[in-house]
Amino acid sequence: MSDRSGAKAKAKPPAPQRVAVRKTYKLFIGGKFPRSESGRSYPVQNANVALSSRKDVRDAVVAARAAVKGWSGATAYNRGQILYRVAEMLEGRREQFVALGVPGDEVDAATDRWVWYAGWSDKLPQVYGGANPVAGPYFNLSAPEPTGVVGVVAPERPALLGLVSVIAPAIVSGNTVVVLASPTEPLAAITLAEVLATSDLPGGVVNLLTGRITETAPTLAGHMDVNALDLTGVTDAGLAADLEVAAAQNLKRVLRPAPADHDWSADPGLTRMTTLLETKTVWHPKGV
């Protein structure tokens, strides 16, 4: 083939085939997405996911502790606003979770659960605190306060709704959490972390680790700077007993609900919130 001048036209080379950028799902610690300090990952759900180490657990606890003062010191109204913002962002990314295999009705239920807990942020002190009758010229007032850093073993499934149902009740009152996500369905957890990172939630309030529960849970349970432990996702009775023994070293509060209590579609009630609270009682004299 030639143009009008008689010169041969050069054939266009074929367009290079684009290589897709494969995503490696990382940890969520202190508001950032680091790889495991060990450099390990494992294949699951057709993806590479970071395999947490004991050092990652310790780093996550440090981040959670650093966030306690600011988060617990925020107003209850502000915490509720942020949890509601999480629901807004989750609603906007519904199709992304569906593409990961999370049923649409589960995404909707998880979104509604964020809204439900957001509404409790400024009502807990009214329901769980109050004035106590005493025999004497005193005011006696009790008020709920956050426990501090809470270690959570999330349920294996439902991967999203179960995860939200253990995170939201812990943080709404001012606690911060280190969460061990489902080892078999971790993509929903790290994608939720991306939602949290864009929802005005301060870094360190929620820290998410993926990998083997048997490797990371003992370090979390025995950590002396963790104040409470939620063992919802531990199905092995022997492992749960060992974690309770480790938690006793610094008198951690332990939540270990029975498997029959894991109806994630039911009304969540107040137990998960109130179990992770301390009660502060103040005496004050009346008059001069």
- What string of H, E and C letters represents the secondary structure of 113-150? HHHHHHHHCCCHHHHHCEECCCCCCEEEEEEEEECCEE
When pLDDT is averaged across residues 61-66 and rounded to a whole number, the result is: 97
Task: For residue 131, tell me if it sits in a domain.
Answer: yes
Amino acid present at 214: T
Task: For residue 100, tell me if it sits in a domain.
Answer: yes
Task: For residue 257, tell me if it sits in a domain.
Answer: yes
Query: CATH number, domain at 157?
Result: 3.40.605.10
pLDDT surpasses 90 at 68:
yes
Q: How many structural domains comprise the chain?
A: 1
- In this structure, of 18-22, 42-46, 62-66, 74-78, the range with the lowest mean pLDDT score is 18-22
Phi-psi region of 251 (alpha: psi -120 to 50; beta: other; left: phi over 0): left
When pLDDT is averaged across residues 26-53 and rounded to a whole number, the result is: 92
Task: For residue 278, tell me if it sits in a domain.
Answer: yes
pLDDT value for 288:
53
What are the distances in angstroms from CA 40 to CA 22, 54, 184, 283? Answer: 16, 12, 16, 53
Give the mean pLDDT of the chain.
89
pLDDT band at 118 (very low <50, low <70, confident <90, very high): very high
pLDDT value for 90:
95
Instruction: For residue 133, say if its preceding peptide bond is cis, omega within 30 degrees of 0.
Output: no
Q: What is the pLDDT of residues 123-162, one digit of tens each?
A: 888 887 767 777 777 777 777 889 999 999 999 989 999 9
Task: For residue 157, tell me if it sits in a domain.
Answer: yes
When pLDDT is averaged across residues 62-72 and rounded to a whole number, the result is: 96
Looking at the chain, the whole-number percentage of residues with pLDDT higher than 90 is: 66
pLDDT band at 175 (very low <50, low <70, confident <90, very high): very high
Task: For residue 104, tell me if it sits in a domain.
Answer: yes
Amino acid present at 240: A
pLDDT value for 283:
79
Tell me, rounded to whole angstroms, the distance of Cα 250 from its chain centroid: 23
Looking at the chain, the whole-number percentage of residues with pLDDT higher than 70 is: 94
pLDDT value for 9:
61
Roughly what angle, to the nearest 10 degrees, separates helices 76-92 and 161-171? 160
Q: What is the pLDDT of residues 5-20, one digit of tens each?
A: 555 667 777 777 887 7
List the beta bridge partners of residue 29: 32
Q: What is the pLDDT of residues 45-56, one digit of tens each?
A: 888 999 999 999
When pLDDT is averaged across residues 79-84 and rounded to a whole number, the result is: 96
What are the distances in angstroms from CA 85 to CA 149, 161, 220? Answer: 22, 17, 29
pLDDT surpasses 90 at 1:
no
Task: For residue 97, tell me if it sits in a domain.
Answer: yes
pLDDT surpasses 90 at 222:
yes
pLDDT value for 138:
75
pLDDT value for 6:
56
When pLDDT is averaged across residues 191-217 and rounded to a whole number, the result is: 95
Angle at 157 between CA 202 and CA 248, to 5 degrees: 65
Domain that holds residue 126: 49-285
Q: What is the pTM of this model?
A: 0.87
Task: For residue 36, tell me if it sits in a domain.
Answer: no
